[in-house]
Structures are given as structure tokens and as C-alpha cells.
Amino acid sequence: MDWEYFLELFLGGITRGSIYALIALGYTMVYGIIELINFAHGEIYMIGAFTALIIATVLTMAGFNQVAIVVIASGAAVLYSCAYGFTIEKLAYKPLRNAPRLSALISAIGMSLFLQNYVLLAQTSDFLPFPSLIPDFEFWEPYAHIISSQELVIIITTAIVMILLTFLIKFSKIGKAMRATAQDMNMAMLLGVDVNLVISATFIIGSATAAIGGVLIASHMGQINFYIGFIVGIKAFVAAVLGGIGSIPGAVLGGLVLGWTESFFAGYVSSDYEDVFAFIFLVFILVFRPSGILGRSVSRKV
């Protein structure tokens, strides 16, 4: 067994998985509360990446230094993604809260199409180079051939975001309100939880993690266009379901499992069929654990 080869595939899988996890979080949180597959979530991540690109380019032209650019551009990406997430919820989902669930799904699909074409028309259809916001660290040079410093930053940031989020959900007041709303929206309302506020907060937090994912992956890949949100969005959604939709640790685990599955299958068998295998694996898991790896199986009352 070639251990270095294994290690590289393993780490490659973590990098991939971390990004899936960051985006899957938004899906899983929204789903947990209003049971909606938010198809436009991938687009939020794309808009975050675009905002970062625009702000970073403007600042570079204005001659700011590297650290300021990174901080301001990422801050703007998070801010704008949150604003978009908030607005989309108010426009496209809130009026549909009492409607059949599939109607909200179609509304989400429409929103996703709208946002893609909005960026396409307002910006460009070409791939745009994305400045590398994450530098190559000097001290990491000796290990950089196994895992580059950018991938390292991705993994560490994801871990930090996860920990912060877990604390937020577990211990803060809004986190408690979120859990209550997820369990029973009407009951939470009766107990004085402002459900509209909770839903808005969920969209904002989900969008913020997506924006972080967007900035990280765009500077890792070095290029973006208006379509990047869709494919990754689908994959992240698969990850969320794999882990058990509605569960935050589930989203992380689902992302990592999906990343590893793809990475190892491509490495040891064939990258032709990596996606086929990933989907077969998903079907296999769901057949044996119908509510995902960490999902609670709900017993239904009769």
C-alpha cells in the first residue's frame, strides 16, 4: 500500500468535503426549520464570491495592502450574501409559508434561475480570474506538496466555522429559538418566539457560511463565473441529505463522506465514474438508513 498516495487522496477528500459541508450547512438549517429545499442557496455562494472579486479588484486598483483587501473583501462577501439571503426569503418564500411545500420549491428554483441570469447580465458570461486571497505561507513550504497552504486554510476555517456555529445553536438565545422552531413552529409561536425573526436569522447564518465557502473556494480555484453555484449546490445538498438533513453535525459528516468517496474512487478506480459512484453510495446509504447517517428516524404517529 502506497501510504503517501493514500494520504494525498485523504486530504484532497477533506478539502472537497469541507466546502461541501460549508454550503450544506445552509441547506440543512433552512430545511430543518421550514422544510424547504432552498435551491437558490448555491447562487448565494456564487454571489458571495462575485462580491469578493469585485471589491478586491477595486481595492487592488486603489492600492490597498494585501491584508486590508482580504479582510474587507471577505467582509463584504459575507455582508452581501446575508443581505441577499434575507431579501430572497422575504420576497420568494415568506408569502408561501402556508402554501403547499412544492410551490415553495418551484419558487426557489425560479429564484435560482433569476439570480444566475442577473449576474450573467450584470457582469459577464466568461470565467473571471479570482485573485488569490490566501497567500502561500513560508513556514508551510516543506509540506506544501502534500497539502497546499490554501487547502490548509480551507480546512481550518471550516473547522472554526463549525465550532462557532455549534456553540451558537447550542447556547445562544437565538439558537435555542431556532431549535424550538425546528421542532414545532406553532408551539414555538405560542411560547413567544418570533418565528419570522428566527427564519430570517437562519437564512442569514446559512448565507454567511455559504459566502465563506464561496470566497475560500474561489481563491483556491482561481476563477469564477455565474454558473459555479449550481453544480456545487446540488453536491452540497446531496451531502446534507447523506448526513441527515436538518442535522448540523450531519451536514459536516455528509460533506466529508461525500468528499472522501469521490476522492478515493477517482484515485483508486476511475474518475470517469466518480459521480456515478457517489450517487450509488448515496442510494445505498439511504436504503439502509432512510434518514441519513446522523438523521433521527422519526416515528410517525397514527
Q: What 3-state DSSP class applies to 227?
A: coil
Which parts of 253-282 interact with other proteins (CB under 8 A)? 262-264, 266-267, 270-276, 279-280, 282
Min CB(173)–other proteins separation in Å: 26
> What track of x and - describes contact with other proteins for positions 218 through 237 (by CB under 8 A)?
--xxxx-x-xx--xx-xx-x
Residues contacting residue 199 through CB under 8 Å, at least 6 positions apart:
33, 34, 89, 94, 181
The one segment of 116-124, 173-181, 185-193, 202-210 that binds other proteins by CB under 8 A: 116-124
Dist CA 19 CA 149 (whole Å): 16
Closest distance to other proteins from the beta carbon of 221 (Å): 6
Burial (CB < 10 A; 0-12, 13-18, 19+), residue 301, is exposed
CA-CA distance, 80 to 8, in Å (whole number)?
35
Site for other proteins in 160-189 (CB under 8 A): none
Enter the DSSP assignment of 224.
Answer: E
Is 129 a binder of other proteins (CB under 8 A)?
A: yes
Per CB under 8 A, contacts with other proteins among 30-89 are 31, 35, 37, 47, 50-51, 53-55, 57-58, 61, 76, 80, 83-84, 87
Query: In whole angstroms, what is the distance from residue 245 CA to residue 260 CA?
Result: 19
| Min dist. Cβ of residue 33 to other proteins (A) | 14
Q: Tell me, what DSSP letter sits at residue 272?
A: T
Range 91-110, binding other proteins (CB under 8 A): 91-92, 95-96, 99-100, 102-107, 109-110
